[in-house]
Structure 1
Amino acid sequence: MKTIKFLSILITFLLASCSAVRVNSDYDKKTDFSVYKSYAFHKTGIDKVEISDLDKKRILRSIDEVMTAKGFTKSETPDLLINITTKAEKNINVNQFNANYGYGWGFGWNPYWGTNYTVNTNTEGTLTIDLIDSNKRELIWQGEGVGYLTKNTDKKDENIKCFITSILAQYPPIKK
């Protein structure tokens, strides 16, 4: 019980620090989500994901942590199958600014008059988590997170945890 409380507090803290991940989800409104208690990974789907095996392990480990904190158990005969997909897109940002050194107002000396540019690149990643009813083989919930990726190995675990906790915070959905 203390472990579940600790993990809930940890997830809340991570969500507060993960505001840079933009999240949305969709679900089958006719589904009773209270019947799902166990899960397993959809191996054939996950094997098709074209990311490094190390990043796959990070993602699956984070999903395990969050699902366990939510009270789910990993099972050989699961209620839910979990699949993931990923996508990455490189963004290039060009900023233009005027460098107006000198006396100004067009009067007098100004050797640096002109326009300067800065170019920044970053990679934006999308992680999609699908929850599939294992008996019906139907998608019942889908969550997607979009945010910036890092190549810094020391920060990858934290970045992936942010994605996972932010996405799975919306499961189970609150029906309105």
Structure 2
Amino acid sequence: MRARHGFILGLVLVLSACSSTDVVTDYNPYTDFSSYQKYRWSETSGADKTVSPLVVEHVKTALAEQLNIDQYKLAAKADQANFAVRYYVAEGAQTIDRSPRLGIGLGSFSGNVGIGTSVGVPLGKDKVNRNVQILIDLLDAETQKLSWRGSLVVELNDKDPKDNMARLHSAVAEIWSQFPPQK
């Protein structure tokens, strides 16, 4: 019975280690988000110089779609906005996707004590994954102070722009799903 619980616990730990990065949010608890109806784009939106302008445009388009879905309207004039929307795309840390490996192991088990060893033999080349971090900020229209922030790190596919567009749209939707914050 203990072995079964140990196996299940181990499986849960392995699966949780493989999960994607979660959305990180922060907000000013004194902000009345219910008053937010009309927005304007912040002039400080943009990206690191290393990030493709196409990636930035996909993020802006996806964010505009999310705002529209939630019925926030783009203000005709900047002074009519209740809040400003700023987005920023930063180059994230690159990760190395290790090629599949063949494990050869030795082990012994006796009297509830186990000793084991394993050697990994690479079966292919390592792949470097390109990551970007998407930041979405909501600012008070008058003071320009930050009222809400959501961010997520997304892995991009260097070979498929359509896949990247889908990943970026999904990431923006995931970030936006955290707004407004639950108090």
TM-score where L is the length of structure 1 = 0.72
Give how far 1:21 is off: 5.3
Partner of 2:60: 60
2:136 aligned with 1:129: yes
Q: Equivalent residue for 1:116?
A: 121
Q: What is the total number of aligned residue pairs between the two structures?
A: 144
> Unmatched 5+ residue regions in structure 1?
1-18, 101-113
Q: CA shift at 1:122, angstroms?
A: 1.4
**Aligned-partner residue type, residue 64 of structure 1:** A
What do residues 39-63 of structure 1 show as CA deviations (whole Å, max 9, x unaligned)?
Answer: 12112x1245432222221111111
Corresponding residue SS for 2:154 = strand
Contact kept, 8 Å, 2:154 with 2:168, in 1: the verdict is no
What is the RMSD computed on CA atoms of the aligned residues? 2.5
> Tell me, what secondary structure is at the counterpart of 1:156?
helix
CA contact (8 A) 1:22 1:147 kept: no
Q: Find 2:87's aligned residue among 84, 107, 125.
A: 84
Equivalent residues of 2:46, 2:56 under 8 A apart: no
The structure whose RCO (Cα within 8 Å, separation 6+) is larger is 1
8 A Cα contact 1:21 1:163, kept in partner: no
Instruction: Give the CA deviation at 1:155.
Output: 1.2
How far, CA to CA, are the matches of 1:168 and 1:115 in structure 2?
41
Name the CA distance, whole Å, in 2 between partners of 1:115 and 1:49: 37
> Residue in 1 aligned with 2:174?
166
- TM-score normalised by L of structure 2: 0.69
Residue 146 of structure 1 is matched in structure 2 by: 153
Structure 1 segments (4+ residues) deviating >3 Å = 93-100
In structure 2, the CA distance between the partners of 1:154 and 1:98, relative to structure 1 (3 Å rule), is same
